[in-house]
């Protein structure tokens, strides 16, 4: 566990430190597209945050290669090389899209090429585990189709939810934590060595997300763009493929001493790819709804709109931060609930616990709006907007006060914020007078 935590911290630290220079580079390179009708942010924000995340990926894998136990994976398995190949292709494709824009079909073709390269290097489903029966082998063609489909679906699912500040990075982080716990348990608890690559990939993925989130929380200083969102989806898919089809249910049965216990231990992979699909159930549901909605309206499935789940939360009156937290809550409930089923001998406790948490979630939905603030102990390490006592940028500009968050803005941006803050203040006063 110590080696995994070290890799996680290295990946998080490198990603966090790279974001600021990457942000300056994105501004200089003009990777700040105008605000579109479907966007929820009010002013142009630099993209290319995926560059920092890719740096975190490289740093995490480099650190892992120098460690005693994790270093063996680089010799015994081709999964690491395959991940780097696929992630590199997806990263380049995302950078091109963030800067110049790439046609949807061209982007889909690039995603399939990245998936195909990884399949060619060995990251493919070779069998489907069925407890009590054993692995059911699939043909190379079937394995390729399953693997490529999983990569494309996962990449687009993550890309579709990247619509609010901090949403995609937070939900992928939650999914990666759940997947890491499950993979680590198979590796350590049951001696399934084939689960080690998945545990490594998800540990690095957690670090990338945690390092990027402080800069991406609302109001975001930088967006990850397609260069980041597609890479995150690909890493989740690779972690799923590297463990699915390589875990023998009979091996787990022998270690547990009982077929019944093996059944419970392998619940998340009863059906191929069940676990990775459940840990991002919300993004996948959003993806399917978007495809059905756009196709039904006679539009292309890739035509962007403003009807995603997070957009609907904003429409019903939730604030930006609160909508993100709501999505976090339900994603965590589904992901960790699925993992919990595999570590209990009965599903009753898990079902009752999830029902209680559902009630808590519904109660939170009815709470008054709030503005998240970081605890005092961690305030020196978070952006100024999450420290107690910091003024809203627009209000501070209207009052002629410069906050630390405004220090990097140009004179024109400060003047614009001042006009926005003055308008918001006047509108609030008019509302008070009318009421």
Residues that constitute the known binding site for Mg(2+):
159, 226
Closest CA to 155 of 222, 93, 243: 93
Using only C-alpha atoms, what is the Rg of the chain?
23
Query: Which tokens hold the place of 257?
Result: 């001493």
Residue spans of beta strands (DSSP E) within 189-311: none
**What SS3 class is residue 121?**
coil
According to DSSP, the β-strands at 127-130 and 134-137 are antiparallel
Cβ contacts of 271 within 8 Å, gap of 6 or more: none
**Feature table: binding site:** 159, 226
Residue 11's Cβ-side half-sphere holds a number of Cα atoms within 13 Å equal to 27
- Say what the alpha-carbon torsion angle 282, 285, 290, 291 is, to the nearest 10 degrees: 140
* Widest CA span in the chain: 74
Do residues 241 and 123 make contact, with C-beta atoms less than 8 angstroms apart?
yes
Which of 189, 175, 279, 197 has the alpha carbon at shortest distance from 243? Answer: 197
């Amino acid at each position: 566990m110590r080696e995994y935590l070290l890799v996680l911290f290295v990946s998080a630290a490198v990603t966090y430190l790279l974001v600021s220079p990457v942000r300056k580079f994105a501004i200089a390179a003009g990777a700040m597209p105008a605000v579109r009708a479907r966007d929820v942010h009010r002013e142009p924000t630099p993209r290319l945050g995926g560059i920092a995340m890719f740096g975190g990926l490289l740093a995490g894998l480099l650190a892992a290669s120098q460690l005693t136990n994790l270093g063996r994976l680089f010799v015994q398995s081709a999964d690491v090389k395959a991940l780097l190949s696929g992630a590199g292709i997806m990263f380049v494709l995302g950078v091109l899209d963030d800067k110049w824009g790439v046609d949807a079909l061209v982007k889909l073709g690039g995603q399939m090429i990245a998936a195909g390269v990884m399949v060619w290097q060995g990251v493919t489903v070779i069998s489907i585990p069925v407890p009590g029966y054993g692995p059911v082998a699939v043909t190379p063609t079937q394995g390729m189709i399953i693997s490529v489909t999983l990569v494309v679906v996962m990449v687009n699912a993550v890309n579709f939810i990247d619509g609010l500040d901090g949403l995609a990075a937070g939900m992928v982080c939650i999914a990666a934590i759940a997947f890491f716990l499950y993979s680590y348990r198979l590796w350590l608890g049951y001696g399934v060595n084939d689960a080690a690559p998945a545990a490594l990939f998800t540990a690095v993925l957690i670090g990338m997300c945690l390092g990027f989130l402080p800069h991406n929380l609302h109001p975001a200083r930088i967006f990850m763009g397609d260069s980041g969102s597609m890479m995150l989806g690909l890493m989740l898919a690779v972690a799923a493929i590297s463990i699915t089809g390589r875990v023998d249910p009979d091996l787990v049965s022998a270690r547990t001493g009982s077929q019944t216990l093996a059944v419970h231990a392998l619940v998340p992979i009863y059906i191929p790819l069940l676990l990775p699909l459940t840990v991002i159930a919300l993004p996948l549901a959003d993806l399917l709804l978007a495809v059905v909605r756009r196709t039904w309206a006679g539009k292309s499935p890739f035509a962007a709109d403003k009807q995603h789940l997070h957009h609907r939360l904003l429409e019903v009156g939730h604030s930006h931060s609160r909508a993100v937290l709501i999505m976090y809550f339900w994603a965590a409930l589904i992901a960790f609930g699925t993992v919990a089923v595999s570590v209990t001998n009965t599903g009753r406790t898990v079902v009752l616990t999830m029902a209680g948490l559902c009630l808590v979630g519904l109660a939170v939905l009815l709470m008054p709006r709030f503005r998240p603030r970081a605890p005092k102990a961690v305030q020196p390490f978070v952006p100024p907007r999450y420290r107690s006592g910091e003024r809203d940028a627009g209000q501070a500009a209207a009052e002629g006060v410069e906050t630390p968050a405004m220090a990097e803005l140009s004179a024109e941006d400060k003047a614009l914020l001042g006009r926005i803050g003055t308008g918001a203040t006047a509108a609030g006063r008019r509302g008070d007078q009318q009421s």
